[in-house]
Homo-oligomer: A and B are copies of this chain.
Amino acid sequence: MAEPPPNRQPPSSRTAFIEATADLMRRQGYGATAISEIVALSGAPKGSLYFHFPGGKEQLAAEAVSSAGERLRGQIAAILSSSDDLAVCIGRLIDALAAGLERSDYQRGCPIATVTLEAASASEAIRVSADAVFGSWLTVLAARMRADGLDPAAAERRATFVLSAVEGALILARARGQLEPLIAVRQELTAGPFGR
């Protein structure tokens, strides 16, 4: 979990491992992702893996969760500040997720949720990592809601609600192989009693 040397040259191997891990686990989860697969997809030399990640698969997963979570946090933040109208922002957020899901044949849902459900009971490190990621997203969301006038407690609650609905819709959409659940949630969140 210790961040690598801050910012010298992009240590290409280390980064490649994390990215391969994140991509594979997003689609297959923790258990179904073999280290050999990660090595193959990353293109990096296998010998270096345990040099960079002495904690093995578990450490790799935890860092992949953090890394993917951080990236998504940035995207969420960008979308949330793309309009003055909160409902419009949420609509755009869901659209972006839906587009990614469809593009990947309903394979790439939330990169955190899959690993959470699978590994939370087995690895504290992964659970903590996932919790931190969700927390960072909620922070961004809640800030936007406070900016919209909600008091801190209500903002926190509303942020949790929105994130939950979106996460849930991603699951339903993957099960169904259709975007329809995401669309329904989008409508309720932006045009229902909520988004009014």
Report A132 CB to chain B, min CB distance, Å: 9
**Do B193 and A164 touch across chains, with their CB atoms under 8 A apart?**
no
- In the complex, whether A165 has a CB less than 8 A from a CB of chain B is yes
CA distance A169 to B117 in the complex (A): 12
Of B107, B175, B193, the contact of A134 (CB 8 Å cutoff):
B175
Q: A121-B27, A165-B168 are in contact. Are A127 and B175 (CB under 8 A)?
A: yes
Q: A157-B188, A185-B160 are in contact. Are A177 and B127 (CB under 8 A)?
A: yes
Q: A28-B121, A167-B167 are in contact. Are A160 and B134 (CB under 8 A)?
A: no
**Do A118 and B167 touch across chains, with their CB atoms under 8 A apart?**
no
CA distance A167 to B156 in the complex (A): 18
CA distance A30 to B163 in the complex (A): 25
Q: Considering the complex, which residues of chain A in the window 18-38 have a beta carbon less than 8 Å from any beta carbon of chain B?
A: 27-32
* Total number of A residues with any Cβ neighbor in B under 8 Å: 53
CA distance A20 to B128 in the complex (A): 28
CA distance A171 to B117 in the complex (A): 7
Q: Considering the complex, which residues of chain A in the window 98-123 have a beta carbon less than 8 Å from any beta carbon of chain B?
A: 106-107, 109, 112-114, 116-122
Chain A residues close to B by CB (< 8 Å): 27-32, 106-107, 109, 112-114, 116-122, 127, 130-131, 134-135, 156-158, 160-161, 163-169, 171-172, 174-177, 180-181, 184-185, 187-189, 192-194, 196
11 A-B Cβ contacts within 8 A?
Answer: A28-B122, A29-B117, A109-B117, A114-B118, A116-B174, A118-B118, A131-B176, A131-B177, A157-B188, A161-B184, A168-B168
